[in-house]
Amino acid sequence: MAGDALSQDPAELRRRIDTTRAHPARVYDVFLGGKDNYPVDRDAAAAALAANPRGYLDVRHNRDFMRRAVTSLTADEGIRQFLDIGTGLPTGENVHQIAQGIAPDSRVVYVDNDPVVLAHARALLTSGPEGVTDYIDADLKSPAQILETAAKTLDFDRPIALCLVAILHFVEDDEAYPVVRELVDALPAGSRLVLSHLTEDLNPASIRAVKETYTKRGFTFVLRSRDEVARFFEQSGLVVDEPGVVPAHHWRFEDGAPVPAPVEPQVLASMDDIEKVRYQDINDVTDADINVYVATGRKG
φ/ψ (deg, to 5) at 163: -105, 115
The residues of the chain scoring below 50 in pLDDT are 1-4
Q: Which of 174, 182, 188, 177 is nearest to 144 (CA)?
A: 182
At 4 the pLDDT is 47
At 156 the pLDDT is 98
CB 251 within 8 A of CB 68: yes
Q: With left for phi above 0 and alpha for psi between -120 and 50, is residue 278 left, alpha or beta?
A: alpha
Alpha helices in the chain (DSSP H): 2-6, 10-16, 24-31, 39-51, 56-75, 95-102, 115-119, 143-150, 173-185, 204-215, 226-234, 265-269, 273-276
DSSP letter assigned to residue 110: E
Q: How far is CA 34 from the centre of its chain?
A: 15
CB 5 within 8 A of CB 136: yes
CB 278 within 8 A of CB 45: no
Question: Between helices 143-150 and 173-185, what is the axis angle to 10°?
Answer: 30
CA dist 234 → 116, 197, 290, 299 (Å): 34, 15, 24, 10
Alpha carbons 273 and 271: distance in angstroms, whole number? 7
